[in-house]
Amino acid sequence: MGWRDGLRRVLGQPPTSPHAGEVVEPPTGCTSFHLWWTGVEGKEAIVEASAVLEVLQEPASRRLYFWALQASFTDAGHRNFGAAHIGLQWNPRHANSRAVNWGGYAVPEDVSSVLDGTDSAIPSTVVDPNTRDFPWRAGTPYRFMISKAPVGWRGDVTDLTTGVSTHIRDLYAHGDQLVGFVVWAEVFAACTDPEAAVRWSDLQVRTASGAVRRPDRVRLTMPVGGCTNTTVVIDDVGLVQVSGTERTVRDGAVLPVRARPSA
């Protein structure tokens, strides 16, 4: 069953908009919803995290959409060295509105604490060190990976249809292990903009000894202040985040994660 079939099954029929012809903006300017991983915890340090992201329906508006895997940096003393996010953007400031991002903050609550890093070899229309032009394609799965670099933490993206891997850059963040895994969507569009959807699958982490762990469930959070027409659908492949549609799940819901698809 595909994600559209899942929505139809839950909704019964397409919802009608009470704001026909009217542009309705989110109160805070951004709509976000997160899927927090559970079931990967353990005594051994985690040094790598990855997830597969596929844009199922690209946005139609000239607004920023950002879909990312995020992790926090720590050490054996459980000190906090910040967090960073890696993923795709629909960003009108970049070539054909397509970009890739690997950046973060030494103090997540302080947007002025942007992490420094190596220069990226990927060009950027607006010369943004964190966000680079990247000609992603809808319907193509991309694996995003965060791993330990010689200095700091590395961000890479692999096109799973071609096998081509692209190194984005390294971030100069301290710490020798990862915690706090989440995949999320941040949508800076109007609540009345057309539907857009992405799918997350094959969520996994790797420990220092090479053991692979996968979350068995995720916890959904939908902060107040954004549009209320976002939802998450479970299909045969993974977890689908949809904006511009009727909400069918509640904030705080715990959703199962499907096992890795058979090769």
Is position 26 within any domain?
no
pLDDT of residue 244: 97
pLDDT of residue 14: 44
Could you read off the pLDDT of 51-82 as tens digits, one per residue? 999 999 999 999 999 999 999 999 999 999 99
The answer to whether the CB of 122 falls within 8 A of the CB of 103 is no
Could you read off the pLDDT of 174-206 as tens digits, one per residue? 999 999 999 999 999 999 999 999 999 999 999
pLDDT of residue 108: 84
Helix/strand/coil percent split, the chain, to 5: 5, 45, 50
Is the pLDDT at 111 greater than 90, yes or no? no
Is position 231 within any domain?
yes
- Between 1 and 51, the higher pLDDT residue: 51
How many Å apart are CA 183 and CA 146, to the nearest integer?
13
Question: Where is 7: in which H helix or E strand?
Answer: helix 3-11
- CATH code for the domain of 232: 2.60.120.200
Is position 245 within any domain?
yes
**Mean per-residue pLDDT for 109-130?**
95
pLDDT of residue 138: 98
Could you read off the pLDDT of 74-104 as tens digits, one per residue? 999 999 999 999 999 999 999 999 999 999 9
pLDDT of residue 153: 98
The answer to whether the CB of 153 falls within 8 A of the CB of 161 is no
| CB within 8 Å of 47: residues ≥ 6 apart | 147, 148, 176, 177, 178, 206, 207, 208
- Burial of 120-130, coded b for 16+ CB within 10 Å and e otherwise, reads bebebeeebbb
Is position 192 within any domain?
yes
Is position 261 within any domain?
no
Is position 216 within any domain?
yes
Is position 95 within any domain?
yes
Q: For residue 94, what are the domain limits?
A: 3-16+31-256
Count of structural domains, the chain: 1
Query: Would you place residue 15 in the very low, low, confident or very high pLDDT band (cuts 50, 70, 90)?
Result: very low
> Which one-letter DSSP state was computed for residue 114?
B
**Mean per-residue pLDDT for 4-27?**
61
Residue with token string 């799918």: 199
Is position 140 within any domain?
yes
Residue 185, judged by CB atoms within 10 A of its CB (0-12, 13-18, 19+), counts as buried
